[in-house]
Structure 1
Amino acid sequence: MDDPDHEQLVKSLRSAAEQLTENRSIRDLEATVGKLVHAAVATIPGADGGGISRTEQGTVRSSHATDNAILGLDQLQSELGQGPCITAADDPPPAGIVVAQDLAGPDGERWPAYAPRCVHAGFRAMMSVQLSLHGRRRSALNLYARAPGVFDASAELTAGLFGVQAATLLHGADHAADLGHALASRDVIGQAKGILMERFTVDDDEAFQMLVESSQETNVKLVDVATWLTSEARTRRADAGPRRHRG
């Protein structure tokens, strides 16, 4: 099999790196991951489609698929709990790449429930690259080929390079999401403290301690206590109607 277009490969990877530094939102990062998957499919000879699978607490989510057929096959692996992407995400070999040269042959015996259905859908070969190993989220870049035996050592290396970029982008998206959640939590806790300070004439530290004690006594997360309090305050204001301004 011919080597991939190395000039196109370098161009694709450089473009992904540039977009990574320019991204300012989770939506930008997610869009860049999608472009990277399409670039991998276009660059690696024999690849006809691709997508990303992510596992978290036993649940597998498929995303960034190049078409609906690939999305369906990624989701099928999730439903069956087996397939190259599950193996790559949860139990990868040392190199982190799982290759099935022919799912209609001996390779398919590793995933007896999945392989026949993938072949029936028109795909004989798969390559899945493990993207993350640590933390609560695990993921894999999945590449599908209609012809068997197309993923050689050069294809594995190229897929691994794309995998490094995809892993970095996904880490950035996760970090941005976690940061956004933390900022939102901080805001609602701040609002709850303000409500308690006004309602009970306490200072900032005392209001926060009230929230902590309520959380401990009710076995409810601090941010959930704060969310309930702010919601309750909005309901009170709505029931009281508009305030009259003195002339």
Structure 2
Amino acid sequence: MDDPEHERLVKSLRSAAEQLTENRSIRDFEATVTKLVHAAVDTIPGVEGGGISRTEEGTVRSSHATDPAVYDLDRLQSDLGQGPCITAADDPPEAGIVVAQDLAGADGERWPVFAPRCVEAGFRAMMSVQLSLHGRRRSALNLYSRTPDVFDASAELTAGLFGVQAATLLHGAEHAADLGQALASRDVIGQAKGILMERFTVDDDEAFQMLVDSSQETNVKLVDVATWLVGEARSKRAEAGPRPQRR
């Protein structure tokens, strides 16, 4: 790679990083993923559309596509269980990038059902980049082009480097989202304990044990029991109307 090309690549990746973090909290996971996909489409040469496929506990979900046609193709791969995104997420090559230069040609033979449908939709070339390597969640960034043989060595390199950058960001965003959910769960459990402590004149430990016992008896998650109890208390307060002000 010559110096001008190297400089262009560094600038494009820096620009993508700035777009992904500009005026957003990393805890806003959905917004982060949306910006990630659009930044990839804008950054990687030859790409005209993109989306994300994520697998969790055997279920594949497609999301954050840049247009409806891409979403339909991502979802089709999920439904068929075949396509570059499935290969990239579950069985990628060492570099983590699956490239199909022409789905109407020999490349399409790897995915005999998906490839003709993709060509019919107007897309001839595709790259899928694995974004997660470990854990229960696996994901791939799917990049589409209407032009065959458009992904040269520079495009593949940019996609690979972008994938590493994006995987790191997604890892942080997922953990931040999980942390936010955990904090919210702790908060609602705390509210539920307070309700039980006031209603039954019990201490903190006894209130928590009441929630645990109820969860086990009903086979409902502890946080869901707490959420129901808090909702019930709010409904009763709303029905009772505003409390009289103390003088």
Q: What TM bracket, shorter-length normalisation?
A: 0.7 to 0.9
Per the alignment, residue 153 of structure 1 pairs with 153
Deviation at 1:6, TM superposition (A): 3.6
CA distance in 2, matches of 1:25, 1:120: 38
How far 1:97 moved relative to its partner? 1.1
- Report the CA distance shift for 1:235/1:181 in structure 2 as closer, same or farther (over 3 A): same
Q: Which moved more, 1:130-139 or 1:213-222?
A: 213-222
Is the contact made by 1:12 and 1:39 (CA closer than 8 Å) also made in structure 2? Answer: no
Tell me which residue corresponds to 2:224: 224
Query: Please, what TM-score do these two structures have when normalized by structure 2?
Result: 0.86
With over 3 angstroms needed to count, the CA separation of the structure-2 counterparts of 1:3 and 1:137, relative to structure 1, is: farther
How has the CA–CA distance of structure 1 residues 194 and 31 changed in structure 2, closer, same or farther, with 3 Å as cutoff? closer
Whole-Å Cα distance in 1 between the matches of residues 130 and 99 of structure 2? Answer: 11
Alignment of 1:110 with 2:110, yes or no, is yes
Change in Cα spacing, 1:162 to 1:4, as seen in structure 2 (3 Å) is farther
- 1:246, CA displacement in angstroms? 5.5
Pair 1:66–1:232, CA change in 2 (3 A)? closer
Once the two structures are superposed, residues 81-107 of structure 1 have per-residue CA deviations (whole angstroms, 9 ceiling, x without a partner) of 211011111221222111112211222
Distance 1:96 1:237, change over 3 A: same
The aligned residue for residue 213 of structure 1 is 213
Alignment of 1:149-188 (within 5 A): 149-188=149-188
Where do 5+ consecutive residues of structure 1 fail to align? Answer: none
Aligned residue in 1 for 2:47 = 47
| Partner Cα distance (2:235, 2:64) in 1 | 40
Kindly state the Cα deviation for residue 194 of structure 1 after the two structures are TM-superposed: 0.4
- Letter of the 1:216 partner, please give it: Q
User: 1:43 and 1:23, CA in 2 relative to 1: closer, same or farther beyond 3 A?
Assistant: closer
| Equivalenced residues, count | 245
- How far 1:223 moved relative to its partner? 0.7
How far the C-alpha of 1:241 sits from its partner, in A, is: 3.6
1:112 CA displacement: 1.3
Q: 2: distance between equivalents of 1:4 and 1:83?
A: 35
Task: Report the secondary structure of 2:131's partner residue.
Answer: strand
For residue 32 of structure 1, report the CA deviation from its aligned partner. 4.7
Q: Compared with structure 1, are the counterparts of its residues 107 and 3 closer, same or farther at alpha carbon in structure 2 (3 Å cutoff)?
A: farther
2-side partners of 1:21 and 1:43: how far apart?
16
Q: CA deviation at 1:152?
A: 3.4
Instruction: Give the letter aligned to residue 222 of structure 2.
Output: L
Secondary structure of the corresponding residue to residue 202 of structure 1 = coil
TM-score (norm 1): 0.86
Q: Which residue of 2 aligns with 1:76?
A: 76
Distance 1:207 1:159, change over 3 A: same
Shift of 1:129: 0.6
Give the 3 Å change call, closer, same or farther, for CA 243–44 of structure 1 in structure 2.
closer
Deviation at 1:31, TM superposition (A): 4.0
Alignment check: 8 A CA contact 1:4 1:43 kept: no
**Contact 2:54–2:139, Cα closer than 8 Å, also in 1:** yes
